[in-house]
Amino acid sequence: MKYKLDFRTYSDALKKNQLLGLKCRSCGNITCPPTMVCRKCASFDQEVIQLSGTGKIKTFTTTYVAPMGREVEAPYTIVMVALDEGPWISGNLIDIDPARVDMNIIGCWVMLGNKVFPGDCYSSGEAARPLFSTVRNI
């Protein structure tokens, strides 16, 4: 079975600041990042949709010890964002110094950006990953 939205297509869209997801034709659930089946009903009947890339920070963590090959990036803050369309996705928060991040960022509105990471020992090559910047507080 072929993926409706494979990781390469997802990553290529991110490089253009477009966030793609999947909408289940059986139950209407929206999934992002892409999966083979709907996370709610396990249906294979999904369609590719473009998502807004905006949402609210639900939780976060600040990483002080980065994985091998990315040590120079630490510290950095990773946020879980509830997109306006429903799914939660993670990405780095780029506009607040990690030393200043605290619980006050919970509920902040954010907007999608991207960063292209080179391949490393954990990946199959270059790929874009979501980044977020704050736009307003609730």
Q: What is the pLDDT of residues 4-44, one digit of tens each?
A: 999 889 999 999 999 999 999 999 999 999 999 999 999 99
Which helix (H) or strand (E) is 11 found in, with range?
helix 7-14
- State residue 95's pLDDT score: 93
Q: Cβ distance 81 to 109 under 8 Å? A: no
pLDDT over 90 percentage in the chain: 75
Residue 69: its pLDDT value, please? Answer: 75
123 confidence band (pLDDT: 50, 70, 90): low
Cβ(81)–Cβ(28) below 8 Å: no
What gap in Å lies between CA 26 and CA 95, rounded to an integer?
39
Q: What is the pLDDT of residues 48-70, one digit of tens each?
A: 999 999 999 999 999 999 887 77
Q: In what order do the strands lie in the sheet with 30-31?
A: 30-31, 19-24, 46-51
| Residue 30 near residue 50, CB atoms below 8 Å | no
pLDDT surpassing 70 at residue 138: no
- Average pLDDT in the chain: 91
Query: What pLDDT was estimated at residue 113?
Result: 87
Q: Provide the pLDDT confidence category of residue 114 given band limits of 50, 70 and 90.
A: confident
Amino acid of residue 123: S
